[in-house]
Every structure is written in C-alpha cells, then in structure tokens.
C-alpha cells in the first residue's frame, strides 16, 4: 500500500522575493531622488540659440542714451508787440536776412490814433510852457520898469526929505510941508519893499510852474516815444543777421499782441537739445560730456545748459560741440547722444542684453562650470551704459551668464544647454 507524501509549501518563493526586491529598489531610488536629487523645473535649450557673456572686472563709466535734435547755436524770435493786420510781406521764409531788414508790415488803427492824440497833447503842453515863460519874461520886464520908477522916486524923495528936514529945523518950511515930504519918503520906501517881495514870490511861483510843466512834458515825451516805437514796430525787422527759418504770417491775417511772427537763426554753429528722464535731474550738470555718431565719426560735446522745468517726466539740456563741427550736420536732425554721468571707476560688469526686459536686473541665468546647464540666481545691478551693466551683488568675475532674451523660458529654474 502506497502512501502519498505531503509536500510543504515554501513561504518565500523566488518569484515573490524578486518582486519585493525590485519594488524596494525602486522605492529607494525614488526616495533618494526626492531627498537628494534635482527637483527644479528645467527646459532643454540649444546652446547655439542663447548668448552667453562673461562677468568682467574693469573700468566702467555710466552713460545714458538720450535723443537730441540739432538746433542753431542761437535763435531770436519775432513777436507782435501790439498786434494788427498783416499788410505786406517783404521776404520769404528760408531767406537770408541782415539785421534791420524789413520782414513784414502791419497796420493798427487804434495805435495810430493813440499816437496822434498823444502828439497833440504834447504840443499843447509845450505851447503852455512857452506861454508861461513868455508871461514870466513880460512880468520880469514890468517889474524891472516898476523898480526903476520906484528907485527913481526913492532917490528923489530921499533928497526932498533930507532937504525938508534941514529947512524944518531952521523953521523955513511949515510943519505940514515937512510931514508931507516925510510921508512921501516913507511911502516909496515901503513900496519898494513890497514890490521886491512880490517880485520874489512871483518868481518862485513861476519857476515852480515851469518845473511842473517841464516834468509833465518829459513824461508825455516818454509816453509818446513809447507809442511811436510801438507804431514803428508794426514794420517787423530782422533782429539779427541770419536765416529766416520761420515766418508765421499771411497777408490780411490778424495778429494778437505777443503772437509769434517768426524766427531768425544764426548759422555760425549748432547745438543739440536733448530730452532726459527726470530720474537723472540731480545727476546732470553743466560741463558734463557726451558723444554721438554723426556721418560715421564720433562727435564730442559738452552740456552747456540744464533746463530745470520738468514736462511729462522729462527735462531738457543743451549740448555744444567741442572741437570741429561735424560734417553733414543739419538743423532739425535727430541724433543719439551717449551722455556721461560720471568719471571712469573700477567695477564688476556684464554685457547688456535682452534679458533685462524680463528680469528687470533682479535675476539672471548663471552657467554652470561644466557648461551643461544654467540656473537662476538673484542679482542686483546698478549703473549702466550702452554696452554694460554694473553688477552690485550676486556674481563673481569670470562667471558666465545668459544675456539673451528670456521670453520663452523665464518660468523655468534651470536651462539644460544641449
């Protein structure tokens, strides 16, 4: 009789052991990757499609680009003093004129009438002055005649009185005749004093009247001269010799007082007027330098004036060319000026690039020493010029950074450079 042999079931079959071992190995790999691996988001980028620049240490000068317009070195404006109607234009816009040349003529009826009235008042006052002076001369002659008569009578009465006094003492004449002679003497003596005082007071009054009339005439002459000058200014003349670059007038057109009529430019030289962002208003001063490329050559210039008024977030400066005037330069031409804001200093710097538009200079992709990838890093930039940015924090000399545009991968922490 045969008996069946009981086979014991193995607790850990090889297949199960292999499955558990594989699962554990995968878990260990995942755990290691989570703990020690690179979990940052990354993007594969072709290395040939990005620009890589090296962080440099060297001399740095802050330059800012500004847009300037070429203007004549001196311009003089012509404005309507009192306004009027344009009757005649003597020269055309763009013509060369000499100082004093007639540009245009206007008419102003009110100004013409005012000049006539003031002239009539002046003549009337001058006639009054002549009449007063004539009266003074006549009065002076009358007084001289009176004084001559008084002096004669005084001399006569003095002799009569002296003689009557002697005769009265000798009792040759009566008391009544003596007293009559004495009274005549006293009368003419007193009359001389009165006439002398009257002459003095009349002379003072006449002189005061003449002085007042002369002052009044002087004022009227000044007023008349001003009105006459304004009337003569209806013929607008060239204030300086140069080119009549603007003429804002048409025959028959009415011009208001103070309205711009034209502009004359001196063509002996040129200047550049540039707009600068108000952020730099405290850093731009007279004497600072700039340069621009004109007709293939570098033209150097210097700030001659800073206009403090800010409009729409910008202020204006004037720059004069130093050295020879650039060839081919023309009025109204726009040029790009590199304005220096300071002297050369030693600084850490990187090349300018499109990355700045995305990062604002707050971070950049730094290339690993292996050259296989680039990783985001916070940085801080300072001054700038058309070629370089000054690095204040976050980079070291010799490191390499990506300076091209980040438009397509700014959200990734890492760039794999293939």
- Residue 1 in domain: no
Residue 418 CA to residue 413 CA, distance in Å, equals 16
Q: Is the pLDDT of residue 28 over 50?
A: yes
Are 114 and 223 within one domain?
yes
Q: Is the pLDDT of residue 142 over 90?
A: no
Sheet holding 345-351, edge to edge: 56-60, 345-351, 388-393, 380-384
Residue 367 binned pLDDT confidence (cut-offs 50, 70, 90): very high
Higher local confidence (pLDDT), 196 or 264: 264
Residue 381 binned pLDDT confidence (cut-offs 50, 70, 90): very high
- DSSP class per residue in 30-90: HHHHHHHS--S-EEEE-GGGS-EEE-EEEEE--EEEEEEEEEEEEEEEEE-SS-EEEEEE-
Residue at a domain's end among 202, 232, 262: 232
Are 117 and 226 within one domain?
yes
291: its two tokens: 């340069």
Strands (E), 256-362: 260-277, 289-294, 297-306, 314-321, 334-340, 345-351
What mean pLDDT is reported for the chain?
Answer: 85
Higher local confidence (pLDDT), 5 or 196: 196
Are 198 and 126 within one domain?
yes
Q: Is the pLDDT of residue 297 over 60?
A: yes
328: its two tokens: 């081919």
Q: What is the dihedral of CA 33, 35, 38, 39, to 10 degrees?
A: 90
Question: pLDDT at position 37, please?
Answer: 47
Which CATH number does the domain housing residue 89 bear? Answer: 2.40.30.170
Helix (H) or strand (E) holding 358: helix 355-359
Q: Is the pLDDT of residue 356 over 50?
A: yes
138: its two tokens: 């006549």
How confident is the model over 93-117, as pLDDT tens digits?
Answer: 989 999 999 999 999 888 888 888 8
Q: What is the mean pLDDT of residues 80-86?
A: 88
Q: What is the mean pLDDT of residues 280-299?
A: 88
CA distances from 45 to 356, 357, 387, 403, 416 (A): 19, 20, 26, 14, 6
Q: Which domain holds residue 410?
A: 42-60+344-417
Question: pLDDT at position 40, please?
Answer: 61
User: Averaging pLDDT over each range in 115-124, 140-149, 371-380, which range is the top one?
Assistant: 371-380
Q: Is the pLDDT of residue 335 over 70?
A: yes
pTM of the model: 0.52
- Residue 4 in domain: no
C-beta neighbour count of 22 within 10 angstroms:
10
């Amino acid at each position: 009789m045969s008996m069946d042999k009981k086979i014991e079931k193995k607790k850990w079959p090889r297949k199960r052991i292999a499955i558990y071992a594989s699962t554990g190995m995968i878990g260990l790999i995942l755990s290691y990757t989570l703990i020690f691996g690179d979990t940052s988001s990354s993007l594969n980028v072709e290395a040939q499609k990005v620009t890589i620049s090296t962080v440099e240490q060297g001399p740095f000068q802050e330059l800012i680009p500004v847009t300037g317009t070429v203007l004549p070195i001196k311009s003089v404006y012509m404005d309507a003093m009192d306004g009027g109607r344009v009757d005649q234009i003597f020269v055309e816009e763009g013509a060369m004129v000499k100082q004093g040349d007639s540009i245009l003529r206007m008419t102003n009826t009110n100004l013409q009438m005012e000049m006539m009235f003031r002239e009539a008042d002046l003549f009337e006052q001058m006639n009054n002055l002549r009449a007063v002076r004539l009266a003074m001369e006549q009065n002076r002659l009358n007084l001289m005649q009176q004084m001559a008569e008084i002096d004669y009578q005084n001399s006569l009465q003095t002799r009569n009185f002296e003689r009557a006094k002697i005769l009265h003492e000798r009792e040759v004449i009566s008391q009544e005749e003596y007293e009559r002679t004495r009274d005549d003497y006293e009368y003419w003596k007193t009359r001389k004093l009165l006439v002398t005082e009257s002459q003095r007071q009349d002379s003072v009054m006449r002189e005061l009247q003449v002085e007042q009339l002369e002052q009044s005439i002087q004022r009227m002459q000044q007023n008349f001269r001003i009105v006459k000058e304004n009337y003569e200014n209806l013929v607008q003349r060239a204030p300086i010799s140069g080119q009549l670059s603007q003429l804002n007038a048409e025959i028959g057109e009415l011009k208001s007082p103070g309205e711009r009529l034209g502009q004359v430019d001196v063509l002996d030289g040129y200047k550049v007027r540039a707009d600068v962002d108000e952020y730099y208003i405290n850093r731009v001063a007279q004497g600072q330098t700039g340069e621009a490329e004109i007709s293939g050559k570098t033209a150097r210039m210097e700030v001659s004036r800073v206009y403090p008024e800010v409009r729409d977030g910008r202020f204006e400066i004037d720059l004069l060319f130093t050295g020879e005037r650039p060839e081919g330069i023309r009025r109204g031409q726009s040029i790009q000026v590199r304005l220096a804001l300071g002297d050369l200093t030693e600084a850490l710097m990187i090349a300018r690039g499109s990355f700045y538009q995305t990062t604002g200079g707050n971070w950049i992709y730094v290339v690993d020493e292996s050259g296989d990838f680039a990783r985001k890093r916070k940085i801080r930039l300072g001054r700038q010029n058309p070629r370089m940015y000054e690095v204040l924090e976050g980079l070291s000399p010799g490191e390499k950074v990506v300076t091209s545009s980040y438009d397509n991968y700014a959200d990734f922490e890492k760039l794999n450079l293939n």
